[in-house]
Amino acid sequence: MRLNRYLALCGVASRRAAMQLVSSGRVRCNGRMVADPGTPVRVGRDRVEVDGEWVRPPRRWAYFAYHKPRGVIVTHRDEQGRQALDAVLRRLRPRLFAVGRLDRASEGLLLLTNHGALAQALLHPRHGVEKVYRVRVTPRPSAAQLARLSAGVTHRGERLQPSGVRLKRSSRTAAVLTIVMQEGKKREIRRMCRSVGLQVRRLRRLSFAGIHLGDLPPGAVRPLTTEERAHLAALTGLAL
């Protein structure tokens, strides 16, 4: 099995994030630092360590919903000492990682799991997983701005396309929008809004892959329900 796949199976990180762990020199196999994420691993025979900790495939899968507050960085550690997701993950067992990201200034629902295959499936474009956001913008958008936003924009050569944009409420100087996305490009909603002359003042993810934030308080974590796990299994075709 390839090393990055093995790390994902162990719940250390997604395959993409596992590649970054390897390239940063934080992974050892049988005592030797490994630089190639494609290095073969013999499951049950080779000893793989991340930051000096022996990592092995979990005995059970775990699935949680987390309300990420503003100011928390979705990374396991931050060299600048800013509040990172690691503080939350240390409270949970087994070892988990976040499915996708929310930038530091954003808040809302994050899924946490140790099931690497599920994370890959939910993030892959073929599943068309919907993410619903509540976005406060200034100034109050015109009908033309909303039309441009709904049609999608090209920002620095990259196409950014929402699945839906709806005006929820507005005042003379601001508005709250509901925006639905199926892609996962970096800071895509903020870039889309900026391209049509709007400034994002607050951004909250309300749902991801049909799992809803609901009234979960900021900073709180809850396990997914049986019904939610069944929904994700039906969506991805995986046995959860």
Residue pLDDT, tens place only, 120-136: 889 887 788 999 999 99
Cα separation, 173 vs 227, in Å, equals: 41
| CB-based contact 160:153 (threshold 8 Å) | yes
Buried b (16+ CB within 10 A) or exposed e, 44-75: eeeebbbeeeebeebeebbbbbbbbeeebbbb
- In this prediction the pTM is 0.80
| Residue 78 annotated in active site | no
* Of 36, 51, 103, 215, catalytic: 103
pLDDT tens, position by position, 188-205:
999 999 999 999 999 999
Domains of the chain: 3-54 (3.10.290.10), 63-126+210-236 (3.30.70.580), 130-208 (3.30.70.1560)
Q: In tens digits, what is the pLDDT along the chain, a chain of 240 residues?
A: 889 888 877 777 777 778 888 988 999 999 999 999 899 999 889 999 999 989 888 778 899 999 999 998 887 655 555 677 777 777 777 778 889 889 999 999 999 998 878 888 898 877 889 999 999 999 999 999 999 999 999 988 899 999 999 999 999 999 999 999 998 788 999 999 999 999 999 999 999 999 999 999 999 999 999 999 999 999 999 888
